[in-house]
Amino acid sequence: MQLNIAAIILGAINVALALVLAPLFEGILRKITARIQSRQGPPLLQPYFDLLKLLGKEDIESGHSPRMQRFAALLSLATVLTVAVQVPMGGHAPLGGQSDVILLIYLLTLSGISTLLAALAAGSTYSLVGMSREMMAMMTLEPLLAVAIVIGAVHTSTLRLDQVLNGSVYASGLFPVAGLIMLGIILFALQAFIGRMPFDTAEAETEIMEGPVMEYSGPKLALFKYARMVKLFVFSALFIALFIPWGHTGFYPLDVIIFLAKVTVLVLLVTLIAATHARYRIDQAIRYYASLFGLAFVALVFAVSGF
Amino acid sequence: MSLLSKIKEVIICLNAGRVTLPYPFAAKPVPERFRGRPIFNPQKCIGCAGCANNCPAREILVFDPCQEVRIIKYIGRRCTYCGRCADVCPEGAITMSGEFENATGDIHDIQQNLEIFMGTCQRCGRCYTGQGPLEALMMKGYRSDNLDKDAWVYSSQAYLDKEPVVEDIDLELD
Amino acid sequence: MAARDVLNSIKKRFDTIIQRADVPADNRLYLYVQLEMIKEVCRYVFRDLDARYVISIGMDDRQNSNRFLVAHDFSFDRENVLASIMVQLPATQPRVDCISDVVPAANWAEREMRDLLGIESVGCPNPKRLILPDGWPDGVHPLRKDVPWNYVPPDFDENKEYRFDEAPEGCTVVPFGPFHPTLDEPAHFRLYVEGEIVRGCEYRGFMVHRGIEKLADSVLTYNEIPMLAERICGICGCVHSVAYIQAVEQAATIKPTPRAEFIRTIMLELERLHSHLLWVGLASHILGFDTLFMQSWRIREPIMWIAEKLTGNRKTYSLCVVGGVRWDITTEMKKELQGVLDTLETEWIKVANAVKGDRNIKARTKGVGIADQDLVKEAGLIGPLARASGVPIDCRRDLPYAAYDRVDFNVIVEDGCDVWSRVLVRVREVFESIRIIHQCLEKMPEGPIQLKINDELPPGRIGLSSVEAPRGESHHFVVTGENNRPDRWRVRAPTYQNLQGIPAMIKDQQLADMTISLGSIDPCFSCTDRMEMVDIRSGKIQVYSQEELLQLVRQGNDTGTKKKCS
């Protein structure tokens, strides 16, 4: 257990980056969406104001078990922040050898489970419908992410997180077939991981009245919204760490800036896709994920056989 | 192919640019025929009460406190800005202005009170005809020998009690 | 004469029971038949003569003829005739045979007659309350002439609940509405859901009643009613005001000036344009595709501006008076209108091409909300809903009114029977509307826009009028009366019929498709619920008290059993 000061500081910076910058990226997303829709759009800092406003609102506790609701709200933000601590943002992974791939996969699944808990704790019909959709989506999506990370593990022959991330899917300079296939697959599934159009079935506003988060108001809703924004940031960071690792200068602040630039480009891509698509129905979405998983399996076979 | 359609859609959007106006900081001027708040001109009004007769929302009330005076009151609360009052006025005393920002906390900002001095024919009272049978004025003429019966010539039951008060014409709305 | 031909074909079978037949014009037929035979006549007309059911109307005629009147309106589309088959009922205990088992589309109309007039339908399969709130006391029938228009019943029971049917086995109850982001107006659909599949549905609506028909009977005059009629709906207001005026004009045999007819046509088509563009936006929003929503509304906006220039208001045109219209189209306005239409057409072609190839939208709308031709016939569905199922009915061509007999246009028909076909029908109808307006602007004759009316309108005459609203046929029935106001005015908006087809359309479909299926009929609940008495002061018209509504949403059903299959 060697937690040196550098690791703690790096970890704290990661969390700070996630907390401070996630709403800004959400703001960029909303502004670009508005411009595509020929509108003016909200100011870039609007998500900060939204969160502040929600924190100040009355917390009405309605639902089957308020204690579980509180726990679910806190869990949702806590899991994504814990993932943020582990993912390298411009440098080495803060926890170094202390964390491994299994932990990362577990935490990402846990963040999905927090949504399920949220819906169950609320207990209203629409929450339960949203929960069943989220569950079906999770069952077919999490394996995709797991396969991506496992391919990295296979190529570096280790489960240590700092070595698996940092572009090891390309295994230091080579371009394996498996890695490229996975790049394509995760790119196609990125919208689904962060829950934006066309794959936001679980939180379909016009169909099931926001689904799992329907019964939440005030500070708890702020936590869920914050968790969603941080998810966008963290998944982008994960994607960059796995597939676009180049551009390291060794000088930490410059690395962070390069990293943030990459995240911005990814957010722009996500926005473009989200603004130009209609929402898919849950069965259509599941079929899509399942076909992607088939391809991912092929990639895994390649990786294991050494390509 | 679906991707091509999406690209076409994005091009349509970006070509359009931004189309929203930062109202209320930038106003959009109203066209000529715009039907905003009606403005009553007491100089031209002859007190025929055709406007009151033809207002679908019954927002124009008429009261004769005495032989010489007729009060025409536009309440404006449920006014739908249809412009029928302006249509049927024989003297053109009502204009539909371009004012549409009529929200206010005090109803008296919108209400218009006209006090018209009237002449009376002792044989037929005050008789007016509407423009046609469909705009017939369904009011009794006023004659000084039945002051009590004809005190209210037109009233809307939404606002007023059965027994009208002669002295106090300051209407209290619910 | 087409109406005489229809009369003769009915006479061939039912000669002795016809009490009286009026043929006031080539396209109208009013038949009075014997009370006992009404069901047989309706069955013959609906099945054998293949007429389209329009609406059933009840009327309290006790002060004139000491009877109640029940009229069943049918439309003979191929013969271009609107017919009304009427029976007279005794003043005490009015009872008439229910025709819902031969004409399923008559279900709501008969329940409405029962609620509002106390006319008992003998043998009605579903005698539940339709219009009046549950707390309304029995025996008080608002549309009867002895009930004043601003009557608030003292024994209104605020906490009485509506008795829903039992949920089928194994299904959860998902309450849809009255508050839901997709619905513009409140309505309640009680969905019985198994997993994600909808197995059945029950509708409780009429929550926004406003007492429009009663006001027309008792308070307003002929030229004031169009202002009320255009507020029946916020999207198709002009349709209702034109339909009412046409019915009055027909009853009083007044012909409006030719220029006025063309202006009415132009405004009606402008309204169709704005409504279809609005609908495309709404449907995309329901599907989650907000970008198309914003773009189609951006393209729609110039129509609202030109309407404001022409009539003074973006939407409530306040257009009609008896015998004409109130606003003229000057030469500058004509040029401007033509410019707006040209820009609209260019932009809309681009959007239509982009949408036609979009597999994302197609995936959500193909095969969804199926309404086959049998359902269209049984439930009396109309408008783009029917035309998307291959049934070519369009009032502009079948029952021509205003200036439609003088312009050229196509009736757009698709045969996919699903939401995607309805999208295509509406997108293509935009181009037809633009064509019609261009033709009207060219062919419009000079002349006065209002007729000088010198006599009072004769009382006791009946007028029928059907206008093609963007959603379907809007049908008005007027009986002229004394005191410069009608004796009875019945409005049948298109959504009234189309909503009755919803339970069959969403059965065995996914829950996620419910909203788009409902959206594809372009529901206008304000058009549907236009009758009841609302006293503004008490505001007591609501179906559920707040605690019950919250409870219903949270617990999922109110019988305590919840079997979830997923």
Q: Does A128 touch chain C (CB under 8 A)?
A: yes
More confident residue, C149 or A45: A45
pLDDT in tens, C4-30: 999 999 998 888 899 999 999 889 999
Higher pLDDT, C231 or B145: C231
Range from B57-66, B146-155, C516-525, C548-557 carrying the lowest mean pLDDT:
C548-557
Name the DSSP letter for residue C203: E
Lowest-confidence segment of A72-81, A205-214, C249-258 by average pLDDT: A205-214
**Do the chains contact at B134 and C354, CB–CB below 8 Å?**
no
CA-to-CA distance for C191 and C167, rounded, in angstroms? 9
φ/ψ of C475, rounded to 5, equals -120, 130
- Is residue B23 very low, low, confident or very high in pLDDT (cuts 50, 70, 90)? confident
What is the topology classification, in CATH, of domain B28-146?
Alpha-Beta Plaits (3.30.70)
Q: Average pLDDT, stretch A77-98? A: 81
- d(CA C344, CA C270) in angstroms, rounded, equals 12
**Residue C302 in this model has a pLDDT that exceeds 90:** yes
What are the pLDDT digits (tens) for C486-498? 999 999 999 889 9
Rounded Cα–Cα distance for residues C31 and C47 (Å): 18
d(CA B77, CA B107): 7
Q: Which two tokens stand for residue C3?
A: 């109406």
Q: Is residue C242 scored above 70 in pLDDT?
A: yes
Residue B140: both structure tokens together? 């009794």
* Residue C324 DSSP SS3: strand
More confident position, C139 or C317: C317
- A270 vs A193, A243, C114, C169, C363, CA distance in Å? 11, 16, 56, 43, 21
Domain ranges of chain B: 28-146
- What band does B122 get if pLDDT is binned at 50, 70 and 90? low
The per-residue b/e assignment along B3-19, b for 16 or more CB within 10 angstroms, e otherwise, is eebbebbbebbeebeee
pLDDT of residue C209: 82
Is C275's pLDDT higher than 70?
yes
pLDDT in tens, C97-109: 999 889 988 988 9
Report ipTM (2 d.p.): 0.82
What average pLDDT does range B46-69 have in this prediction? 83
Closest-approach residue (CA) in chain B for A37: B13
pLDDT for the residue numbered C88: 93
Nearest to A36 among B10, B19, B22 (CB): B10
Partner-chain residue, chosen from A38, A125, A132, that has the shortest CB–CB distance to C298: A38
Q: Do C457 and B54 touch (CB under 8 A)?
A: no
Average pLDDT, chain A: 83
Query: Best residue in C214, C227, C230, C347 to probe B by mutation, most B CBs within 10 Å?
Result: C227
C511 CB within 8 Å of a chain A CB:
yes
Site of tokens 């010198």: C454
- Which residues of chain C neighbour B16 with C-beta distances below 8 Å? 295, 298
Q: Kindly indicate the confidence band of residue C176, based on its pLDDT and cuts at 50, 70 and 90.
A: confident
Q: Collapsing DSSP states into helix, strand and coil, what is residue C205?
A: coil
Who wins on pLDDT, A2 or A96?
A: A96
Give the long-range contacts of residues C396-399, CB within 8 A, separation 24 or more: C396/C468, C398/C75, C398/C77, C398/C78, C398/C80, C399/C27, C399/C75, C399/C77, C399/C80, C399/C81, C399/C82, C399/C466
Out of C174, C196, C287, closest to residue A279 by CB: C287
Q: B96-102, long-range: CB within 8 Å, 24+ apart, which pairs?
A: B96/B34, B96/B35, B96/B36, B96/B37, B96/B38, B96/B39, B96/C312, B97/B36, B97/B37, B97/B38, B97/B39, B98/B30, B98/B34, B98/B36, B99/B36, B99/B37, B100/B30, B100/B34, B100/B36, B100/B37, B102/B36, B102/B37, B102/B76
Percent of chain C with pLDDT over 70: 92
Residue C467 binned pLDDT confidence (cut-offs 50, 70, 90): very high
The pLDDT of residue C548 is 38
> C69-83, C255-269, C527-541 — which is least confidently predicted?
C527-541
- Which pLDDT value is given to residue C309? 94
Residues of C in contact with A276 (CB under 8 A): 291
Which residue in A has a C-alpha nearest to residue B13's C-alpha?
A36
- For residue C462, the cross-strand partners are C479
CA distance A86 to chain B (A): 36
Kind plus residue range of the DSSP H or E element containing C24: strand C18-25
- Does pLDDT of B164 surpass 50? no
The per-residue pLDDT for A146 is: 85
Tell me whether residues C227 and B16 touch, CB distance under 8 A.
no
pLDDT at A213: 80
- State which residue of chain A sits closest to C562, comparing Cα positions: A125
Whether residue B10 is predicted with pLDDT greater than 90 in this model: the reply is no
Q: Which region among B40-44, B74-78, B166-170, C12-16 has the lowest average model confidence (pLDDT)?
A: B166-170
d(C-alpha C457, C-alpha C473), whole Å: 27
What is the arithmetic mean of pLDDT over A97-101? Answer: 76
Q: Shortest Cα distance from C412 to chain A (angstroms)?
A: 26
Q: Which of C115, C91, C102, C106 is nearest to C37 (CA)?
A: C102
Task: Give A235→chain B minimum CA distance, Å.
Answer: 25
A125 to chain C: nearest residue by CA? C556
CB contact set of B93 (below 8 Å; sequence gap of 6+): B40, B41, B42, B43, B44, B45, B46
According to the model, what pLDDT value does residue A192 have?
84
Band of residue B139 on the pLDDT scale cut at 50, 70, 90: low
Per-residue confidence (pLDDT) for residue C564, from 0 to 100: 32
| Mean pLDDT across C450-479 | 93
Pairing relationship of beta strands B69-74 and C28-33 according to DSSP bridges:
unpaired
Contact A279 C182 (CB under 8 A): no
pLDDT at residue C193 is higher than 80: yes
- pLDDT at C549 (0 to 100): 39
pLDDT of residue A97: 64
- DSSP assignment of chain B: -HHHHHHHHHHHHHHH------TTTS--PPPTT---SEEE-TTT-----HHHHH-TT--EEEE-SSSSEEEEEE--SS-----HHHHH-TT--EEE-S------S-GGGT-EEEEEE---BTTTBS----SSGGG----PPP-GGGTTTTS-SB--TTT--SS--SS---PPP-
- A203-217 tens-digit pLDDT: 655 555 667 787 888
pLDDT band, very low/low/confident/very high, at A297 (cuts 50, 70, 90): confident
> What percent of chain A clears pLDDT 70, i.e. is strictly above it?
91
pLDDT range class, residue B151, cuts 50, 70, 90: very low
Question: Angle of helix C331-356 relative to helix C290-311, nearest 10 degrees?
Answer: 170
Q: For residue C361, what is the nearest residue in chain B, using CA coordinates?
A: B2
Average pLDDT of span A44-67? 88
pTM of the model: 0.87
Q: Which of B9, B18, B19 sits opposite A276 (nearest CB)?
A: B9
pLDDT digits (tens, 9 = 90+) for C312-357: 999 999 999 999 999 999 999 999 999 999 999 999 999 898 888 8
User: In angstroms, how far is the first alpha carbon of chain B from the final one?
Assistant: 62
- Res. C382 pLDDT band, cuts 50 70 90: very high
Q: Which domains does chain C have, with CATH numbers?
A: 1-128 (3.30.460.80), 155-203+536-566 (no CATH), 212-527 (1.10.645.10)
Joined tokens for residue A39: 């509108």
Residue B4 touches chain A, beta carbons under 8 Å: no
pLDDT at site A172: 55
Which residues between 180 and 239 in chain C have a beta carbon less than 8 angstroms from any beta carbon of chain A? 180-182, 195-196
Is-contact A302 C533, C-beta < 8 A? no
Q: Do the chains contact at C295 and B12, CB–CB below 8 Å? A: yes
- Give me the pLDDT at residue B167, please: 44
